[in-house]
Amino acid sequence: MPDGLTPPPSLAIATDMVCHIIVKAREFDVQDVETDPDSASNAADDGAISILEEHDGDPTQAELVAFIEALDEDEQVDLVALLWLGRGDGDIEDWEDLRTQARDGRNDRTSAYLLGQPLLADHLADGLSALGLSCEDFDKDHL
């Protein structure tokens, strides 16, 4: 967390946008493999368990990919840097270095890279926390 004397770095991506990605990433992460692809029951009969299973054409994944791909380069760079900060690849003093590394490694596969990261939502939330930010207000307004 910032020391209180030095203001946290400003982000190119809005906190609410990161929080939206966190919520969607959590929805994506809780999915399990499809257990009964030919089920004749409906969601009400099986306790709606099928909504937690991964299906082809998953709208949660598609929405998350589209959202990340619609971000501009600076927003994508900060998103990757936040992931790295949150997973402990550096601390607040390393923020500009993390940003530089993210910019240098940037390509057209940012969404695939992010969705392939275990604990994406947790790491992004931890990255925000390290900057003194949180999704508390976003959660109140959107959940």
Q: Provide the pLDDT for residue 29.
A: 73
Q: For the whole prediction, is pTM greater than 0.85?
A: no
Q: How far is CA 95 from CA 14, 25, 44, 110, in A?
A: 17, 23, 48, 19
* Block residue for tokens 């969601």: 43
pLDDT tens series, the chain, 143 aa: 455 566 778 899 999 999 999 999 998 876 554 555 555 555 556 555 554 455 556 688 889 999 999 999 999 999 999 999 999 999 999 999 999 999 999 999 999 999 999 999 999 999 999 999 999 888 676 65
The pLDDT of residue 44: 58
Instruction: State the sign of the Cα–Cα–Cα–Cα dihedral 12, 119, 52, 33.
Output: positive
pLDDT of residue 81: 97
Q: Please write the tens of the pLDDT for every residue from 61-84.
A: 889 999 999 999 999 999 999 999
Q: Name the one residue in this structure whose structure tokens are 């840097």.
A: 81
Close Cβ partners of 92 (under 8 Å, ≥ 6 residues apart): 1, 2, 8, 85, 130, 131
Q: What is the pLDDT of residue 4?
A: 58
Angle between helices 73-86 and 120-130 (to 10 degrees): 90
